């Protein structure tokens, strides 16, 4: 039987969305307290009693968070148009390399909005 794990992270970042009309508020520089939720799915290690160590997930995420936290996301390579959708994909593709049981990344740019990749 598989278990589903979730771990939450938060970053403070600025961005603007360059492909929007000039009169759209998100076309201007603005900031968000982004919540990042990683969802992993895997088998229980019967000897240890867990699927994966949460500390291991944190270690995988630290270099990625360092690139994103307190930064202008448009200046991060691969995030020139840093929509929540593209941010979720950017994190997923990089974290999956060392977390093969990663299922999805959810980005919340406000408490009322969220985007998940992949579905």
CA distances from 64 to 48, 60, 91 (A): 28, 8, 7
**8 has binding-site annotation:** no
pLDDT of residue 1: 83
Whether 29 and 14 have beta carbons less than 8 Å apart is answered as yes
Q: Is 109 a catalytic residue?
A: yes
Look up the pTM and report it: 0.97
Q: What is the CA radius of gyration of the chain?
A: 16
Superfamily of segment(s) 2-22+30-117: 6-pyruvoyl tetrahydropterin synthase/QueD (3.30.479.10)
pLDDT of residue 97: 97
Q: Is 19 a catalytic residue?
A: no
**32 has binding-site annotation:** yes
pLDDT of residue 85: 98
Q: Is 26 a catalytic residue?
A: yes
pLDDT of residue 16: 98
Q: Which residue is catalytic, options 4, 12, 24, 70?
A: 70
**Residue-wise pLDDT tens digits, 68-91:** 999 999 999 999 999 999 999 999
pLDDT in tens, the chain (119 residues): 899 999 999 999 999 999 999 999 999 999 999 999 999 999 999 999 999 999 999 999 999 999 999 999 999 999 999 999 999 999 999 999 999 999 999 999 999 999 999 99
The helix/strand/coil state of 118 is coil
């Amino acid at each position: 039987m598989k278990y589903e794990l979730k771990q939450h992270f938060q970053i403070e970042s600025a961005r603007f969305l360059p492909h929007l009309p000039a009169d759209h508020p998100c076309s201007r520089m603005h900031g968000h307290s982004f919540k990042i939720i990683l969802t992993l799915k895997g088998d229980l290690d019967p000897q240890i009693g867990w699927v994966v160590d949460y500390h291991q997930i944190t270690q995988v995420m630290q270099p990625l968070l360092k690139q994103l936290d307190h930064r202008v996301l448009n200046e991060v390579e691969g995030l020139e148009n840093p929509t929540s959708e593209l941010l979720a994909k950017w994190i997923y593709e990089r974290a999956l390399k060392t977390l093969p049981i990663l299922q999805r990344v959810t980005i919340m740019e406000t408490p009322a909005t969220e985007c998940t990749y992949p579905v």
